[in-house]
């Protein structure tokens, strides 16, 4: 199984390094435009043809741009043409990100050093390496991108890495996960992720927000923006922790409701829409997927219908089985926390889905 990750570093450049990289970006952008225009006019995204037609002219126009970057720009242009089926002329901002292949950039993840080709020769940049990044030392770098944040005046290095050796876990132990409003996640092994802290923090922000909104001054608006950022980071951090805890458990297959399908359906109760909007479930799902993948584990997406109305013991499905957070089956009398009952249903659906599938399909949707 191949696992691909992109990690980003903030670059520290030597004197004159910024100017050199900015000039390189401008030249790169010219190369991109030349390739894009030729491909657009000749209605092709073929890289070889594009190369034959444009390479010489581009080399003459921007002689200092390393040839490998000329090729990188051409590849990007051809990919953009392909994406639009040549229906529109791909445009790039003058200081857009540049794609480097391994010949024109060397990245040393142990010491945090990158030598980057530019119109003024190679530039030696440094970037801070943390303990966290050590896990990537054995990975293979596949491509690198250098981008520029004009507002901050900062360059970033994005490294795409490939780890081909993740062994898929053979053993199958399915965990059902129900995501909800009161509880961010409830798992079929009886674990709840609600944390009073999450509720308290969110309530605190909600309170602050109403207060500031009622003030309406400019400084209040500024403060509102600041706390919005803080709250978002809190949600992200919490999602990270939950995903980590869940994926590091003994379970090897994680079954989730497919919430993406639901948003497009029209008639949904208010409470369901709130469920979707109050927590960043998509983000939680991304993190779960990301972490599970790296461990060789699987994510299954289940049909979300009736998971909260169905009895996880006898299968009787009835709307009145659930009332708020409590579930009581009208047929067999089984009682349980409603979210936990839903999580068990999701787990069962996951198990029956797996029995119908060939093994080792990492991320599949079951409907
Ligand atoms: Zn029942």
Low-confidence ranges of the chain (pLDDT < 70): 1, 164, 195, 260-279, 357-367
| Residue extents of the structural domains in the chain | 3-163, 174-195+248-366
Å from CA of 330 to ligand 1 middle: 7
Q: Which residues are within 5 Å of ligand 1 (an ion), measured at CB?
A: 311, 313-314, 316, 329, 331-332, 334
The predicted pLDDT at position 1 comes to: 67
The predicted pLDDT at position 117 comes to: 92
Å from CA of 294 to ligand 1 middle: 38
The predicted pLDDT at position 366 comes to: 55
Å from CA of 355 to ligand 1 middle: 23
The predicted pLDDT at position 269 comes to: 60
Å from CA of 176 to ligand 1 middle: 18
The predicted pLDDT at position 195 comes to: 62
The predicted pLDDT at position 135 comes to: 77
The predicted pLDDT at position 358 comes to: 62
Å from CA of 285 to ligand 1 middle: 30
253's torsion region: left (phi>0), alpha (psi -120 to 50) or beta? beta
């Amino acid at each position: 199984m191949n696992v691909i990750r992109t990690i980003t570093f903030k670059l520290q450049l030597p004197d004159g390094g910024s100017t050199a990289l900015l000039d390189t970006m401008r030249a790169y952008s010219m190369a991109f435009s030349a390739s894009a225009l030729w491909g657009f006019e000749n209605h092709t995204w073929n890289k070889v043809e594009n190369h034959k037609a444009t390479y010489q002219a581009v080399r003459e126009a921007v002689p200092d741009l390393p040839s490998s970057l000329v090729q990188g720009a051409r590849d990007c242009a051809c990919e953009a043409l392909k994406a639009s089926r040549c229906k529109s002329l791909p445009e790039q901002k003058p200081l857009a990100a540049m794609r480097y292949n391994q010949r024109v950039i060397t990245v040393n993840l142990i010491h945090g050093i990158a030598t980057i080709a530019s119109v003024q020769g190679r530039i030696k940049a440094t970037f801070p390496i943390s303990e966290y990044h050590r896990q990537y030392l054995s990975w293979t770098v596949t491509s690198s991108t250098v981008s520029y944040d004009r507002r901050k005046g900062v360059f970033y290095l994005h490294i795409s890495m490939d780890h081909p050796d993740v062994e898929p876990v053979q053993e199958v132990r399915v965990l059902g996960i129900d995501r909800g409003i009161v509880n961010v996640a409830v798992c079929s092994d009886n674990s709840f992720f609600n944390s009073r802290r999450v509720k308290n923090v969110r309530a605190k922000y909600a309170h602050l927000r109403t207060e500031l909104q009622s003030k309406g001054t400019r400084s209040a608006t500024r403060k509102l923006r600041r706390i919005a950022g803080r709250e978002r980071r809190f949600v992200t951090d919490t999602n990270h922790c939950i995903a980590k805890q869940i994926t590091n458990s003994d379970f090897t297959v994680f079954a989730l409701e497919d919430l993406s399908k639901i948003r497009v359906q029209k008639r949904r109760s208010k409470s369901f829409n709130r469920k979707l909007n109050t927590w960043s479930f998509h983000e939680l799902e991304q993190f779960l997927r990301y972490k599970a993948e790296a461990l060789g584990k699987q994510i299954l997406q289940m049909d979300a219908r009736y998971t909260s109305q169905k009895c996880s013991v006898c299968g009787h499905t009835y709307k009145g089985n659930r009332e708020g957070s409590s579930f009581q089956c009208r047929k067999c009398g089984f009682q349980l926390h409603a979210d936990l009952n839903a999580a068990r249903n999701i787990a069962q659906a996951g198990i029956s889905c797996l029995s119908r599938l060939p093994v080792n399909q990492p991320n599949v949707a079951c409907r």
